[in-house]
Amino acid sequence: MKGEIFLIKDDGKLVMMKESSYESENLLQDLLAEYPNLLAGAQIDQNNPRKWLLVSREIGIPSEENSYDRWAVDHLFLDQEGIPTLVEVKRSSDTRIRREVVGQLLEYAANALAYWPIEQIKLKYESRCESAGLDANDELAKFLSNEINSDEFWEKVDTNLQVGKIRLIIVADQIPLELQRIVEFLDSQMRSVEVLCIEIKQFTGQSLKTLVPRVIGRTAESVQKKTSPSRMKWNEEKFFEAISNSCTTQETELVRALLNFGKEITSH
């Protein structure tokens, strides 16, 4: 059964807006590229809402080293922490949305982590900006809001790729219960990979359109696993890998210098 919402206009009139289907999958893809905030970053992380930088649409993924692209993911975004976010869009009328899309996205992710060099991602981002008549450096500076510089940001992206820290999102106008259960299971089992669905319903009425995103797939268990301290056995290499993923290069080198200083003192 189709839902409905109500909008009160400035003149006090109540407008009933009925849920409606997207005319095409490409239309929903266009909306995500134009309005990345539809990915509901505040619902993904309430304490630190995700912001999105579009790298490219239909970005190719090879299946072997130095080979031609075999697949293409609908969108690749980066968040403010440089976490690659692969987005695949499906309409609810597409039968592949129930199971096939999950396997498809996992295959994309496995090969992207193996065969995506950071230089290719930067090149795709710069090419997308050039095609849109935008300055890539200016766009990135606006996105980062002077929190870190561009070199440090790309270092974070590279580190996330190397350690397998990515996010997989399936977007549709309606998420079937079967798909929700699969995504909840995957997200709860993988510590470094987030797997989510975002349902973006469309409501129309009286020449108005409203889009309502809702994140699906997060459970209390998965959130706790991803935010609780790791039980891994730490060594110096893993320590600095974790530090570099959350600190600037300058801060990381300062910690390294302090550690070396401490080693020198204790050795005498």
Per-residue pLDDT of 102-121, as tens digits, reads: 888 999 999 999 999 999 99
pLDDT score, position 127: 97
My answer on whether 244 and 140 are in the same domain is no
My answer on whether 29 and 138 are in the same domain is yes
My answer on whether 234 and 220 are in the same domain is no
Beta bridge partners of 5: 17
- 86 near 169, Cβ under 8 Å? yes
My answer on whether 199 and 238 are in the same domain is no
Neighbour count for residue 120 (Cβ, 10 Å): 14
Neighbour count for residue 12 (Cβ, 10 Å): 6
pLDDT score, position 253: 76
Question: In this predicted model, which residue has the larger pLDDT, 190 or 166?
Answer: 166
Strands (DSSP E) contained in the chain are 4-8, 14-20, 53-62, 69-78, 84-89, 166-172, 193-205, 208-216
Q: Band of the pLDDT at 257, cuts 50, 70, 90? A: confident
Q: Domain containing 236: what range?
A: 229-268
My answer on whether 235 and 157 are in the same domain is no
Find the range with the poorest average confidence among 166-170, 241-245, 257-261.
Answer: 257-261
My answer on whether 101 and 198 are in the same domain is yes
Q: What is the dihedral of CA 148, 154, 158, 164, to 10 degrees?
A: 60
My answer on whether 131 and 211 are in the same domain is yes
My answer on whether 179 and 243 are in the same domain is no
pLDDT exceeds cutoff 50 at 230: no
CA–CA separation, 180 and 110 (whole Å): 21
pLDDT score, position 268: 55
CA proximity to 109, closest of 193, 34, 45: 193
pTM confidence score = 0.80
My answer on whether 106 and 172 are in the same domain is yes
With pLDDT > 90 as the criterion, what percentage of the chain qualifies? Answer: 63
pLDDT exceeds cutoff 80 at 245: no
Q: Band of the pLDDT at 3, cuts 50, 70, 90? A: confident
My answer on whether 117 and 248 are in the same domain is no
Question: In this predicted model, which residue has the larger pLDDT, 253 or 21?
Answer: 21
**Based on the structure, what is the number of domains in the chain?**
2
My answer on whether 28 and 95 are in the same domain is yes
